[in-house]
Amino acid sequence: MSQPAAWPKIAVVGAGAVGGYFGGLLARAGAPVVMIGRVSFVEAVTKNGLLLDTLHFKDTVRVEAATEIAGARGAEVILFSVKTTDTAETARALAPLLSANAIIISMQNGVDNAEQIRAASGIDALGAVVYVAASVPQPGTVKHVGRGDLVIGPRNATTERIAGLFERAKVPCRISNNIEGELWTKLTWNCALNAISALGRAKYGQIAASEDARTVVEEIVREVLAVARAANIHPPGLEDPKAALAGALKVAAQMSEALSSTAQDMLRNKRTEIDSLNGYISCRGVALGVATPVNHALFTLVKLAESRQ
């Protein structure tokens, strides 16, 4: 019987909820993983290990952790999961540390992170669509309450290798030849739910249960799809606005107990990623001559709330 291939060294740059969850599963499967995170995270993980409190199991994983990005030196696979507000700065810091064959996977919200990474550092990153409801209730703990799957693309030797690594760690990872459209599908759900969850301090399930909230979600979705059409982008399965609304509500039901990442940021008095979500749609709408009043209103309200923090 043949032995499994050796794991590559994996670095998680930005070990928050997303990086902690997926990096933690890779480490639990046996991969050598180093996680780059805040001091409180590193101290907790170094002392007690990383606690994965998931829907399916609760386990403590021993994993290397560091506060300095230099810890990623020599890694063959990088899970790039910093906030979008830190994309350019982190990419510039990471570039001198990379080996020639390193694979960087952008596991972030928004649709233009790979372009931002390339513009800032010359690094060619893979875009990944991340579907997971997770949070960090305390340093060194990742709480998982919904989904936990990825989409990458297009299909080639690199994406097949990465999908194989995640599948080996029991992380569903689909390959799509329309990764731009897939990113816009995720953007549609984020625009539809994140700001409402943040401003209403509401879990996704509460949004799905509210008739008034569903009306707002429908308008958001219509605007996002209008911008996508004007940009000649085709999010799979979202050609019909009714189907798109149903998809948003399905995501809300799948992650019913979750607060959006935007809500989590606001509750912690942290800067949000709203510029990459509803704000991005507002800006692209202006550039393409598409009206996006609901997305612009939500963007504006979140920015005003941020300014008080």
Cα–Cα distance, 192 to 152 (Å, whole number): 22
Band (pLDDT 50/70/90 cuts) for residue 183 is very high
pLDDT of residue 238: 86
Provide the β-strand partners of residue 143. Answer: 53, 135
The percent of residues above 70 in pLDDT, for the chain, comes to: 99
pLDDT of residue 5: 82
Band (pLDDT 50/70/90 cuts) for residue 65 is very high
Measure the CA dihedral 159/164/165/171, to 10°: 100
Query: Does the structure show a pLDDT above 60 at 199?
Result: yes
- Picking from 6-10, 251-255, 288-292, which range would have the lowest pLDDT averaged per residue? 251-255
Band (pLDDT 50/70/90 cuts) for residue 309 is low
Provide the β-strand partners of residue 135. Answer: 143
Provide the β-strand partners of residue 205. Answer: none
Band (pLDDT 50/70/90 cuts) for residue 255 is confident
Q: 232 Cβ partners below 8 Å, 6+ apart?
A: none
Going by C-alpha positions, the residue among 122, 147, 218, 224 that lies closest to residue 181 is 224
Domains of the chain listed by start with CATH number: 10-177 (3.40.50.720), 180-307 (1.10.1040.10)
**Better-predicted residue by pLDDT, 277 or 5:** 277
Where residue 118 falls (left for φ over 0; alpha for ψ -120 to 50; beta otherwise) is alpha
First to last CA, the chain: 59
pLDDT of residue 136: 94
Kindly state the average pLDDT of the residues 226-234: 96
The percent of residues above 90 in pLDDT, for the chain, comes to: 89
β-strands 126-135, 141-152 pairing: antiparallel
Kindly state the average pLDDT of the residues 224-240: 93
Provide the β-strand partners of residue 36. Answer: 13, 66
Query: Does the structure show a pLDDT above 80 at 59?
Result: yes
Measure the CA dihedral 272/14/188/253, to 10°: -100
**CA 150, 154, 160, 165 torsion: positive or negative?**
negative
Band (pLDDT 50/70/90 cuts) for residue 2 is low
pLDDT of residue 240: 81
CB 14, CB 35: distance < 8 Å: no
* pLDDT tens profile 81-137: 999 999 999 999 999 999 889 999 999 999 999 999 999 999 999 999 999 989 999
